[in-house]
Amino acid sequence: MTTPTSQPTSQPEHLSMSEVLRIHMLRRLWYAQIISVFGDFLALFAVISILTFKLHANPQQIIGVQIAYMLPIAVLGILAGVFVDRWPLKPTMVSSDAIRAVLVLLLIFATNPWHFYLILAAISIVSSFFGPAQGVAIRSAVPLHGLRSANALMQQVMFGMRIIGPAVAAFMVASFGAISCYLLDSASFVGSALLIASVPLLSSVAAQQAAAQPNNIASTSTASPLAKIWLDMKQGINFILHHAALLFVILAMASGMFVLGCFGPLIAVYVRDSLHASTRVFGVASAMIGLGMLLGINGLTTFGKKLGNTLLVYSGLFGIAIGLVLLTTLTHIWSTLLGNLIIGLAVAAIIIPSQTLFQQETPPELMGRVGSTFMSIIFTAQIAGLVLSGQLAQYTGVRQVFALCAILLLLLMAAGKLWMEPKPHPTT
């Protein structure tokens, strides 16, 4: 008797964004993402506008708005994933939207920076549960070869709103007051909740996850609630630490977000001190990063279908380093715009493959925990970029900070190549 040999099976071609949008469940989630993110950007920029022009806040207080919004997700992200893996998916997402719809209305009564910080932090706490749940929903709605396009669609909404959000928010604040932005954001959460509630397939996902881990539940049935939570958190963290490729893309994503965090406070100083240019140049330079991200996402789904996720991540890291080198070595307006555009394109080459690899490689019963840990690391990196960039620039200079970031990215590429490449499995 001969031993059968496994024949290599061809991977199905990646679905395009239009093909992914034909999936009813994903289309509803995408609609919900559009209206919810649009409302979020309106409210966030309205808060910044009020703090800047009405309360005359200093730069540290403005940065505090971003930190207040990101810190709870960074701190609670790992814990939130434990509950997302245990709770039914649709009620988790719908209740998160409903709670945030109420919390946003509290911004109407805020009168000093600390009011805004506390309200935004409360919204962020609820968002720390919604984000991982949305990742699980996308994984359950889309086949594996369609995840890259699905993630591109979701990120396209984020980057598109980042470009048009400030202009729309400025118009609404000037014409109707900041309250109009808060009311519209609250209504957007209600609309998102209604769209998610209309998706019938989401109700069965939690049951499938619970059925996938009966042995784990049985083995911890005698443990205390806190011990169970710790064991679940440890299981998700251990999966990441022992999955070399996933650990690499998470670190790559964190590095990209750290660089973007540095850009927020420093690009204005760079334009002022290195280029000796106006605020108009600063506005165009900042927009080039968002434009690059948007172009990069669409380019990936069109031209990057045959490229592996790991190769794209390497390309993204190298692209960010190239953009930073341009900013470090050349001090012209054209080189600044080109460098920022390259950085935006490269960040897109990291974000989409990283999310796709995480969704493809993570077992369904660990999606919430791994996804929330992913989010926690990303937001921690952004906060570190915001906090450390000013301190580093004070001692070394803005261009030197950009050079250090480029060196960090090149070292990460080398580490990934040496220790975190996926190992080939021998076939029998």
Ordered mean pLDDT values, 10 residues apiece, the chain (428 residues):
43 78 89 87 83 77 82 84 86 93 94 92 91 87 86 81 73 86 93 88 47 46 68 82 84 83 76 82 79 84 76 90 93 92 90 84 84 86 82 82 89 79 51
Residue 374 and residue 335 in one domain: yes
Residue 363: inside a domain: yes
pTM of this structure? 0.75
- Identify the domain containing residue 60 by its residue range: 16-205
Residue 152 and residue 243 in one domain: no
Residue 35 and residue 174 in one domain: yes
What pLDDT sits at residue 420? 62
Residue 240 and residue 201 in one domain: no
CA distance readout (Å), 284 to 212, 340, 415: 50, 10, 35
What pLDDT sits at residue 116? 93
What pLDDT sits at residue 289? 82
Q: Under 8 Å CB-to-CB from 379, ≥6 apart: which residues?
A: 70, 71, 73, 74, 77, 257
Residue 111 and residue 193 in one domain: yes
What pLDDT sits at residue 216? 47
Pull the structure tokens for residue 144: 């594996």
What pLDDT sits at residue 422? 55
Phi and psi angles of residue 304, each rounded to the nearest 5 degrees, phi first: -105, 20
Residue 200 and residue 240 in one domain: no
Quick check: 363 and 212 in contact, CB under 8 A? yes
Note every long-range contact of 320-323, with CB atoms under 8 Å and residues 24 or more positions apart, other chains counting. 320/255, 320/256, 320/259, 320/346, 320/347, 320/350, 320/405, 320/406, 320/409, 321/406, 321/409, 321/410, 322/346
Residue 392 and residue 288 in one domain: yes
What pLDDT sits at residue 220? 47
Task: Give the count of domains, the chain.
Answer: 2
Phi and psi angles of residue 363, each rounded to the nearest 5 degrees, phi first: -60, 145
End-to-end alpha carbon distance in the chain:
15
Residue 287, domain CATH: 1.20.1250.20
Quick check: 33 and 165 in contact, CB under 8 A? no
Domain boundary among 205, 233, 259: 205
Residue 200 and residue 277 in one domain: no
375: nearest Cα among 74, 60, 94: 74
Alpha carbon dihedral 158, 160, 163, 167, in 10-degree steps, equals -100
What pLDDT sits at residue 179? 92
